[in-house]
Every structure is written in C-alpha cells, then in structure tokens.
Structure 1
Amino acid sequence: MDTNNLLNHLVTAVLVINNQLKPCYANAAAEQLLGVGNHKLLEQTLPELYQLMGVEPQLLRDAVNAGQGLTINTAVLITLDGQHHTVDITLMPIENDNNLSILELRQVDQQRRIHQQLNMDAQQQAAQFLVRNLAHEIKNPLGGLRGAAQLLSRELTSPDLKEFTTLIIEQADRLRNLVDRLLGPQRPTQHTQQSIHQVIEKVLKLIEMALPDNIHLKRDYDPSIPDIEMDSDQMQQAVLNIVQNAIQALEHCGGDIVIRTRTQHQVTIGTHRYKVVLALSIIDNGPGIPSELLDTLFYPMVTGRDEGSGLGLSIAHNIARLHRGRIDCISVPGHTEFIINLPLQ
C-alpha cells in the first residue's frame, strides 16, 4: 500500500517537522489548509507559512527537541492569504528519530459550523413559523382597513379630507410590504446555470453608483469556478444585502470590502457532504459585529443598528438555504467575513 497516497486522502493536515520547525513532508490536506504549494511549503519554516497560530514556535521547538507530545485544542490559525480557521493541534514524536515529529492540524470549523447550522436552522424554522402566522393575522385586518379607506375616499369631496384617507392607504401598503419582506422567499424557484461572477458584478455596479469615497471595493475572483444552478435574482439579493451591511459598518470609519470567490473541498452543509462547494466571501475591515449578536445574527428583526430593520441577513440566509447552501460569519475587530457556501456540480 502506498503510504503517501493514503496520507493524501486524509482530511487532517499532516506535516513532519524537524527541530528547526522546517517541514520535510506535508500531505495534500496541509497544502490546502495553509494555502501553500508543496514545493514552497517544504522550503520554508513553519512560522513562515502562516500569519498567526495559537501556539508559540518556541514551544513546538522545545517539544520536538525533547521528544515530547503536545496537544492544543481550538487554536486560531490565520493563513498567509488571510483565511481564519480553528484547529486542534497535535504534535507527536517519531520513534527512533529524536529530531522529527508529526504535526497534525485538524480543522474543527466544520464541526462547529455544522452544529451551529443545525441549531440555527431549527430556531429559524420556529421563527419563520411564528412570523408566517403573525403575518397572516396582520394582513387580514390590514386589507380590511385599506379597503375601508378606499371606500371612504370615494365618498369624500373635500381634497383636505381625502389627504387623510390617502395617508391611511399608503401606510397600509407600507405595512404590507414590510410583512412580505419579513416572510421573504419560502420555496425554491426555477434555477438555471449562471456564472456567480456575473451575479456579483451586477450587484457591484449597482453599489458603486452610490459608494462613499472612503470605502473601496476589491475583487478577488477564482476564474476557474464553473457556472452553478441558481435563481440569479435571489442570489443578487442575498449578495446585495450582505454588501450593504458591510458598507453600513464602514460608513463612519471607511475601509475596504473584498469580494472573494474560491472552491473548497469536502464540505458538510446540513446533513450532506459535498465534494466541492463555492465559497463566496464578503470581507470588510470594519469594527466587527458585537459578540452577543453572532449567534442570532440571521434571525428576523435582529440588528446591531438603531436604524436597521434586521431583515437583510435573514433574507440572505433563507436564499442560501433554498439553494442548498449556508452562510457562515466570522467577526473580530478589523475583520468581518460572511461566507456564502453553495454546492458545485
């Protein structure tokens, strides 16, 4: 059996490092996690292959020199391309060789996200059920109110009095539109093969017409991503809602918004595991999202702004769900990233 081939089929990143923390072997999962090709990976020391890892290099050196094992759970890993991961780190000495150790970096982002998504989906369904029933109870009397105002308007001859019935009708229509926005799309629509980059460009052209001077849009596309089946109007709405959130986060301080597309392999969404998914990231370097909002960010009517409606992210989450995808959020001060994950054929 080919050991190298076997290790390349692991989803856990495996490296063999010496006491100078220079890798002498790395499997395919390590290349993918660190975002570095095998040739470059074997030429540099471990600390040169990432921006931040939740373990001091000296601690690793000491463990390798002493031939001791080391385990660190849920450590932060920021790769050279700015990707944030949470990993469990395990260092094990290789028997009969005091200068080499096996370093395993096991991503736990997936497990955490799966648990969060299942929990979020259950709570979101409960929230949607409540909102649908509430919308039904609001729409019935609202329709009656609007109809009565129309009938009354026909009987009135004074323009001053008609002004009041017009106001009632306008406010009734506004409330009905708000209820419709609360409900959002409920069922999958007709999907066709579309380029995600064309969808993004339509959104960005719309955004750029009114973009403040202190905010800059940056594109970072992977042109090899194939077309995917989607409702392009719905997907534009989802991307637009998230980009607008990023703009509102930066409107006072200014900054950059990066739109990035990549592919990821062996990703679990809900209860299904997909070989390849599209990861569309919308990243801003604003102040970040308050930690107390992160767990309920995609619920209807949840917002961190006084003037916000709390509907944009809820609608975006629902659109992703109708495309068999999900939205993840990573936020710390200076880096907020929303990732729309969609399965690829």
Structure 2
Amino acid sequence: MVSDSPRIGPLEKQILDHLVTAVLLFDGDLCLTYINPAGEMLLQASAHHVLGQSIGTLMPWPECSMEQRLRDALSTRRPVTEREVTIPLSGDRAVRVNCTVLPLHPFDASSEALVELCQVDRHLRIVREEHLISQHQAAQALIRGLAHEIKNPLGGLRGAAQLLEQELPDESFREHTRVIIDEVDRLRKLIDEMLGPNLIPNKQYVNIHQVLEHVCGLLAAEYPGGPVIIRDYDPSIPGFRADPDRLIQAVLNLARNAIAAAGPDGQVELRTRVLRRFTIGNKSHRLVMQVEVIDDGEGIAPDLLDRIFLPMVSERPGGTGLGLPIAQELINQHGGLIECESRPGKTRFFIYLPLEPSHD
C-alpha cells in the first residue's frame, strides 16, 4: 500500500489497514492520497490504480456531489455525514454506504479530508449468510434423520423382493419383483444424493482456475451447441488446500443450472476475484476467494430465491432440486458459502472460499 500523505505514519497505517470500514484520505486538491484494504474491497479497485485520482473521477455519485461535500467540509472545518448513499460499481453493481467526511487542518501541512464509508448492507449480508448456514444445517440434520428412518425399511423391502423373486416359478412374475428392487435402489440413491458426501474431503493444493477449466471441458462436451462460456479470471489468486473433486462437482452443479437458464443462445460467465477482510457468516477472513457463475437467463422467481438451497426446491420442470443443496454442502465442507442474487437478465451465484492456510 502506498500513501503520499505525511499524515499517515507506519502506526496509523497499520491501524487503518486492519479496519473493516473503508477509509480514504484526500488532499487539499481533493485527490486521493490513501485508501485502506477495506476501501479497495468496497470500491473493487486496487490502491495502485486509484491513488492520485480526483474525488469526482473516483466517486461519480449521482445522488449528491461528493466533491462539493468535501469542499464544504474543508471550508467550514466541520464534519459532514451523508446517509445511505448509493455508490455505483462496475458490472452493474452498487453498494449503499453511510459517508462521513472529517476535515483535517494541521498547522504544518495543507488541509486534508478523511472519508469513512460504512457499508449499510454489510450487517444485512452477514445476517443473511448466517441464515443460509443455519438453514442448510437444519435441512441436513432433518434429511439425515429421515434417511435413517427410510433406508432401514427400504433394505427390508429389497431383501424380501429378492427372496420372493427366487421362489417365483414364472419368469413374467419376476418382472414385478425386479420393478420393486429397481425402485428401492433408485430411492436409496436419491437419499444418498440428498445427504451428500460423508467422507472427509481429500484436501490438496489446488489451483481454482484448473478446476474451472476442467468444468468448462465437461460443459463443452455435455452442451456442444452452446451457450457461450466467458472466462474472467484473476491470475493473482494463490493455490489453496481443497478437495478438487468436490469443488468441480459444486461448480458443475451451478454451471449446469446457469446453462439451463441461459439456453443455447445465451451466455454464461465464470469470474474469479480476491476479497480482503471479508466475512463468511460471522467469521472474518483476511483473504477470501470469490468465484462467480453468471447467466443472462430470465432470473429466479423472487418467491423461490430464499429457498433455492433447500432440498427438492426446483424451478425447472423435472428438476430434482438437489443440485444447489449438494453444491452448498460441498462448499460448506471447505468453510465457504454460496450466495445468489437474481434479476431478469442476470443471475449471479457467488462461491466464497477462505484462502487462509489450512491446518487439517
């Protein structure tokens, strides 16, 4: 991190760098001289690219003139607060923040303005993530309890059908017992799919882009007629410990849904980014990898959006409603989480995975 401001010493920089709220410092000409990691994450831009930019270029907010707000604060020497201001970001995204401008008037230097941006929807996102995690855990506990109660009688039914099959003299009658055995096997397989993998993940060092390219190869073979798959990768993402097979299955489940939504003439995008000082649920992480699976389909119905990670919930005719719950379980096993936002013409699934060194 580079700072051109004499006001930011090593100790102050260390403190600001560890804050979860965004802090920006502007000089008397309203050019950016410092931004902390939380600010980089909020604005989705690195310090290297934004240092030196003017406030008007950096924050072209339509709701109010931040340049005028900063000038007023510097001239009156009084703090200014703007609540619930919407900041437009790249990719048709936006965040809502409470903005506080604190004028600094040191005797031995020119005036500066310290800007603090507190994301209004951050708390709501944390609450939503905690709800997703608890919802998934409750669903898994219910399914495991039901599975135990169902699989035992299914085993008895299968055994009885096999004994009956051996005693029947007429081959045509055995067709009926074969139907019973096949249906029992199908139900047991369905239950196993709902439960998801029970074995401990086989973690090894993984490059996420190799995982995504493997998924792209599978999709190209499965859907030769389209849609178009776009890749937007961040090459700076480091390797991390994970089970590659489970990551492949999780991303593949999301990508198949995206392809079904986009159709052969649509577009699916796979995008990777690194997030700093990011929370997953109620746990803060220094580095988090974000994988996005984006499609340009019709979107998910609002009444289904809060329930799509529950088993047996599907918008597609003939869908089992198991792909998303299984993907969520596979990512949860790595300490991560899947979220979704959707509107007509754009649906985004976000996979968040912590990048801290694993001790298992």
TM-score, with length taken from structure 2: 0.81
- Per-residue displacement from partner, 1:182-221 (whole Å, max 9, x unpaired)? 1112453332222222222222111111226351111122
Please give the alpha-carbon distance, in whole angstroms, between the structure 2 residues aligned to 1:164 and 1:106.
Answer: 66
Please give the alpha-carbon distance, in whole angstroms, between the structure 2 residues aligned to 1:343 and 1:39.
Answer: 24
Instruction: Determine if contact 1:325/1:343 at 8 Å carries over to the other structure.
Output: yes
Please give the alpha-carbon distance, in whole angstroms, between the structure 2 residues aligned to 1:48 and 1:332.
Answer: 29
- Residue of 269, 276, 284 corresponding to 2:280: 269
Q: 1:204 is matched with which residue?
A: 216
**Offset of 1:313 from its aligned partner?**
0.9
**In structure 1, what residue type is equivalent to 2:36?**
A
| 1:164 and 2:176 are equivalent in the alignment | yes
Q: Give unmatched runs, 5+ long, in structure 1.
A: none
- Per-residue displacement from partner, 1:212-259 (whole Å, max 9, x unpaired)? 63511111222332222112221111111111111111127x322111
- Residue of 326, 331, 339 corresponding to 1:315: 326
**Offset of 1:328 from its aligned partner?**
2.0
Higher strand share: 1
Q: 2:157 is matched with which residue?
A: 145
Please give the alpha-carbon distance, in whole angstroms, between the structure 1 residues aligned to 2:128 and 2:174.
Answer: 52
Q: 2:303 is matched with which residue?
A: 292
C-alpha root-mean-square deviation of aligned residues, in Å?
A: 3.1
- Per-residue displacement from partner, 1:90-112 (whole Å, max 9, x unpaired)? 14363779x97554332355433
Instruction: Determine if contact 1:222/1:261 at 8 Å carries over to the other structure.
Output: yes
Q: Give unmatched runs, 5+ long, in structure 2.
A: 1-7, 74-78
Q: 1:213 is matched with which residue?
A: 225
| 1:279 and 2:290 are equivalent in the alignment | yes
Q: Helix, strand or coil for the counterpart of 2:338?
A: strand
Instruction: Determine if contact 1:212/1:251 at 8 Å carries over to the other structure.
Output: no
| 1:242 and 2:251 are equivalent in the alignment | no
Instruction: Determine if contact 1:320/1:326 at 8 Å carries over to the other structure.
Output: yes
Instruction: Determine if contact 1:76/1:84 at 8 Å carries over to the other structure.
Output: no
| 1:226 and 2:234 are equivalent in the alignment | no
**Offset of 1:285 from its aligned partner?**
2.2
| 1:177 and 2:189 are equivalent in the alignment | yes
- Superposition map of 1:1-345 within 5 A: 2=9, 3=12, 6-16=15-25, 23-29=31-37, 30-38=39-47, 40-42=49-51, 44-46=53-55, 48-49=57-58, 56=62, 58-60=64-66, 63-64=69-70, 67=73, 69-73=80-84, 76-80=86-90, 82=91, 84=93, 86-92=95-101, 94=103, 102-108=114-120, 110-186=122-198, 188-211=200-223, 213-251=225-263, 254-344=265-355, 345=357
Distance 1:105 1:290, change over 3 A: farther
Distance 1:35 1:256, change over 3 A: same
Instruction: Determine if contact 2:25/2:35 at 8 Å carries over to the other structure.
Output: no
**In structure 1, what residue type is equivalent to 2:194?**
L
Instruction: Determine if contact 1:15/1:23 at 8 Å carries over to the other structure.
Output: no
Distance 1:109 1:323, change over 3 A: farther
TM-score, with length taken from structure 1: 0.84
**Offset of 1:179 from its aligned partner?**
0.9
**In structure 2, what residue type is equivalent to 1:79?**
L
Distance 1:324 1:153, change over 3 A: same
Q: Helix, strand or coil for the counterpart of 2:306?
A: helix
Instruction: Determine if contact 2:211/2:247 at 8 Å carries over to the other structure.
Output: yes
**In structure 2, what residue type is equivalent to 1:56?**
P
**In structure 2, what residue type is equivalent to 1:28?**
N
Q: Helix, strand or coil for the counterpart of 2:315?
A: coil
Farther off after superposition, 188-197 or 229-238 = 188-197
Please give the alpha-carbon distance, in whole angstroms, between the structure 1 residues aligned to 2:325 and 2:191.
Answer: 13
Instruction: Determine if contact 1:156/1:162 at 8 Å carries over to the other structure.
Output: yes
Q: How many residues align?
A: 337
Instruction: Determine if contact 2:336/2:351 at 8 Å carries over to the other structure.
Output: yes
